[in-house]
Amino acid sequence: MSLNSLRSHLGLTRTRGNPQPPQSSALDLSFTRILLRLGFALTVVSPYFRAQAATYQPSKVVPPEPAREFRAAWVATVANIDWPSRKALSTQEQKAELLALLDRAAQLKLNAIIFQVRPACDALYASRIEPWSEYLTGTMGKAPEPFYDPLAFAVEEAHKRGLELHAWFNPYRARLRTSTSPVAANHISRVRPQLVRQYGEFLWLDPGEKEVQDYSMSVVMDVVKRYDIDGVHFDDYFYPYKALDGARKELDFPDDSSWQRFGAGGKLSRDDWRRENVNTFIERLYKSIKSAKPWVKFGISPFGIWRPKNPSQINGLDSYATLYADSRKWLASGWVDYLAPQLYWAIDPPEQSFPVLLRWWAEQNPKGRNLYPGMDSTKVSRSESRRGWQPQEIVNQIRLVRAQKGAEGHIHWNMKSLMRNSTFDEVLEREVYQQPALMPPSSWLGRTRPSKPKVTVATVKSGSQLEIRWAPGASGKACLWVLQVRTNGQWKTEILPVTKTARVWNGSQPEVVAVSAVGRNGEVSAPSVLQSRSDAK
């Protein structure tokens, strides 16, 4: 709206036959006084005044600190546990199912998805090294039709919803007994059979082979370099769980060849040599990830009991002796950014007590890495008529984690349990997920904070509709925004994806608005704060 148009609207222009007076005339002076009395700025923005913007001003009000908690769920693709629901769905059906999983995660205010991309030396992405998984198309080596890359799609869609995407690999498993597809020509068991062992009903890569370490390393690093993932994740499979022969006796892992070539002449016992094979791989992979992309987190979810009697009341499988997984050493050495021990037991039974094990793990963490226990949400019953845990069991476990010093989040096994149990979801939303949460920071990965974002305020269409826009500051890349609003003295926090850069209010408008930028390591910028002038009085 021009100045002349405004004069006309207010009835302050002369008639068409009279010439316009000079700008210093009494008419213009009167017009200016009117505008000043009404509180208008003389700057006019076409087609509307920025009247509402003028009612907000920078403020030193300090918004509350946003909550910090890792909230994740595993999405298993092996045997079609979580996704896709069955083999050979169409591309459209696969995408729709994956979007539904991500939407539910966002609805529940989770902030990460751990997505299985390599179940058994196969790939749910466009791999340059391994064949397409049969769990995707029904046939190992067959790409989706019409073509798409599930991992690229998952990363993009997760980030649109403000979710981190951690790519989950199994480092050694090569084929499951339940597999039905013919083996693809480029599968490791055909290309390099000397690295593969038959163990019970499985095919397994031999961790004692130096070439196996190089091969699995190349698979993981290929994904790290080509995809915008937020993390690399391993579960509890290292050397395999014990298989039994026909007489129900435990079979030893068939690694005589690698033991004779690499271990027998050394100072380590065979068991210690096996553990060292895994340790060497874990340390090497951690350093390789940090060398390529320092912000990509490396996490492992080992079996929840390191060794029986640790602490003294605990009994169960000895993962140190059975899986050759010295998970306590990985945590104590700082070879992981987070550890997620699978504490799949209830609170009360003393031999596998959830809080007792949680406390023990928190005490094994001298380098202060993030600790996110895994919880078995599949045990929550879907109806009162079925046996299982009540939703309150998981709710209470989450509360115990929040109360435990050194524990900063949790992971649900599995995403399907959050998709099929509306009662469970309602309890989670009502009792423990009322507010969103940012990731706990990983300070050892860097403390650089993004710059304070630039925030502008404007009216849109009418004085009752308020729009706030924000943009990155001068330095530091944002990956999320924290939007905090105070209305009637109450603060509300939202965590928004980086693509979301505006918010509109219709009618009632907030007293204070604060926007902060969040960097890749969870570091938060200083907030840009605007306050209503009427509220500031």
Statement: residue 52 has pLDDT above 80: no
Q: Tell me how crowded residue 257 is: count the other CB atoms within 10 A of its CB.
A: 13
Quick check: pTM over 0.85? yes
The pLDDT, as a whole number, for residue 462 is 62
DSSP one-letter string for 72-108: EEEE--GGGSSSSSSTT--HHHHHHHHHHHHHHHHHT
In terms of pLDDT, which residue wins out, 223 or 39?
A: 223
| Type of residue found at 91 | T
Residue 499 has pLDDT above 70, yes or no: yes
| Dihedral sign computed on CA atoms, order 243, 248, 250, 254 | negative
The predicted structure's pLDDT at residue 533: 86
- Token couple for 329: 């050493």
Per-residue exposure over 168-179, b if at least 16 CB sit within 10 Å of its own CB, e if not: bbbbbbbbbeeb
Spatial distance between the Cα atoms of 130 and 175, rounded to a whole number of angstroms: 13
Question: Under DSSP, is residue 469 helix (H, G, I), strand (E, B) or coil?
Answer: strand
Q: What does the pLDDT look like over 303-313, one tens digit per residue?
A: 999 999 999 99
437, 371, 234, 94 alpha-carbon torsion, rounded to 10°: -20
pLDDT-based confidence at residue 10 (cuts at 50, 70, 90): very low
User: Hey, what domains does the chain have and what are their CATH numbers?
Assistant: 3-47 (no CATH), 56-65+446-536 (2.60.40.10), 70-172+210-243+269-437 (3.20.20.80)
| Per-residue pLDDT tens over the stretch 124-174 | 999 999 999 999 999 999 999 999 999 999 999 999 999 999 999 999 999
**Nearest residue to 175 via CA among 121, 137, 101:** 121
Nearest to 433 by CA among 410, 406, 415: 410
**How much of the chain, in percent, has pLDDT values that exceed 90?**
82
Q: Check if the beta carbon of residue 108 is closer than 8 Å to that of residue 425.
A: yes
Virtual torsion, Cα 102, 111, 447, 155, nearest 10 deg: -10
Residue 166 structure tokens: 């951690």
Q: Given a cut of 50, is residue 39 above it in pLDDT? A: no
289: its two tokens:
């990830």
